[in-house]
Amino acid sequence: MYDLIIIGAGPAGLTAALYGLRANKTVLVLESKNYGGQIINANNIENYPGIKNISGYDFATNLYNQVINLNGIFKFEQVTKITEDKKVITNKNEYQAKAIIIATGTERRKLNLPNENELIGKGISYCATCDGNFFKNKDVAIIGGGNTALEDTLYLSNIVNKVYLIHRRNEFRGEAKYVEELKNKTNVKLILNSNITSLNGKDTLESITVNNEKIKVQGLFIAIGQVPQNQIFNNVVNLDSNGYIITDNDLHTKTKGIYAAGDTRVKSLRQLTTAVSDGSIAATNAIKEME
């Protein structure tokens, strides 16, 4: 029996763990991949108050170590189900909690084009900071118009020969500051009001088709947003039409003792600052309720 079981070791989950442990609660963090969530892929964080800049890896590792130093327990297992009476079932074990915080974040959205899955790792990537170095001095494309696509384009422009940034509208969803920076990059070409209609190549990506024209690229980075993975929780939480978990202001779901924090829940701003805020609110309210 744990006081608090947290599902997901991204910034929201790790912050919840920190708050739980500092309140002397027993805390188990369950994570299916590695600690850090998506922020671990951020090359440079410049909008976290009080820190001028830090890499996503350093931020996540500092937070992870903070939790380890307080004797937080981590198990790298895949959660398959949670029950109303707060049992957590994984691919390996079954655990009981007094309260559960779901902080499972989101996964990268796919273009859903033929060939996409087959070419992953053979030219197609969803993470510029992870795979950018494979494309040194080559030509690559990025698709997307949010902060991820803009940051990735800036990052790749310092590594590769040429970057095509393809976006379906003529205005970007991401911050104006990044757009301004991009305009000063001589090796970045913006292709607006456009979409990719095919991914060409057999064993590796050779070109993409945009506006009926083939553009030769060795790499394509897909940065078209995120999708939540909450179907396994729908017996205990309500989901909105996009699959995000609905909470009240205390981050409580429809089931007593089950909370949701971070990118996985319905909210207006999904950023590092709001993820850590959610983690602290969910843990504090879960602790209050169990006491």
Is residue 173 within the footprint of ligand NAP (CB under 6 A)? yes
Nearer to ligand NAP, 96 or 197 (CB): 197
Q: Which ranges in the chain belong to alpha helices (H)?
A: 11-22, 56-69, 128-131, 147-157, 176-183, 272-290
Among 125, 153, 207, 226, binds ligand NAP (CB under 6 A): 226
Nearer to ligand NAP, 169 or 256 (CB): 169
Task: Give yes or no: 131 in active site.
Answer: yes
Mark the segment that binds ligand NAP (CB under 6 A) among 16-24, 57-65, 224-232, 248-256: 224-232
Is residue 11 within the footprint of ligand NAP (CB under 6 A)? no
Distance of CA 37 to the CA centre of its chain: 6
| CA–CA distance, 101 with 286 (Å, rounded to integer) | 8
Is residue 131 within the footprint of ligand NAP (CB under 6 A)? no
Is residue 195 within the footprint of ligand NAP (CB under 6 A)? yes
Q: How far is the CB of 143 from ligand NAP (least distance, A)?
A: 6
Q: Which of 58, 85, 130, 248 is catalytic?
A: 130
Query: Is 260 in contact with 237 (CB distance < 8 Å)?
Result: yes
Mark the segment that binds ligand NAP (CB under 6 A) among 123-131, 199-207, 221-229, 240-248: 221-229
Task: Give yes or no: 240 in active site.
Answer: no
Restricted to residues 69-88, the positions that interact with ligand NAP (CB under 6 A) are none
Is residue 139 within the footprint of ligand NAP (CB under 6 A)? no
| CA–CA distance, 200 with 116 (Å, rounded to integer) | 10
| CA–CA distance, 105 with 261 (Å, rounded to integer) | 8
Among 22, 33, 168, 214, binds ligand NAP (CB under 6 A): 168
Residues 64-91: b if buried by 16+ CB within 10 A, e if exposed: bebbeeeebebeebebeebeeebebebe
Restricted to residues 27-46, the positions that interact with ligand NAP (CB under 6 A) are none
How many CB atoms lie under 10 A from the CB of residue 189? 14
Q: How far is the CB of 288 from ligand NAP (least distance, A)?
A: 29
Task: Give yes or no: 127 in active site.
Answer: yes
Mark the segment that binds ligand NAP (CB under 6 A) among 11-19, 54-62, 145-153, 238-246: 145-153
Is residue 149 within the footprint of ligand NAP (CB under 6 A)? yes
First to last CA, the chain: 15
Is residue 197 within the footprint of ligand NAP (CB under 6 A)? no
Q: How far is the CB of 224 from ligand NAP (least distance, A)?
A: 4
Contacts of 209 (CB under 8 A, 6+ apart): 196, 197, 198, 200, 215
Q: Which of 3, 131, 152, 263 is catalytic?
A: 131
Which residue's CB comes closest to ligand NAP? 146
Query: Is 79 in contact with 89 (CB distance < 8 Å)?
Result: yes
| CA–CA distance, 3 with 141 (Å, rounded to integer) | 47
Is residue 147 within the footprint of ligand NAP (CB under 6 A)? yes
φ, ψ at 42 (rounded to 5°): -75, 125
Query: Is 65 in contact with 219 (CB distance < 8 Å)?
Result: no
Contacts of 101 (CB under 8 A, 6+ apart): 4, 5, 6, 7, 13, 16, 259, 260, 261, 279, 282, 283, 286
Active site residues: 127, 130-131
The residue ranges that bind ligand NAP (CB under 6 A) are: 47, 109, 143-149, 151, 168-169, 173, 195, 223-226, 270-271
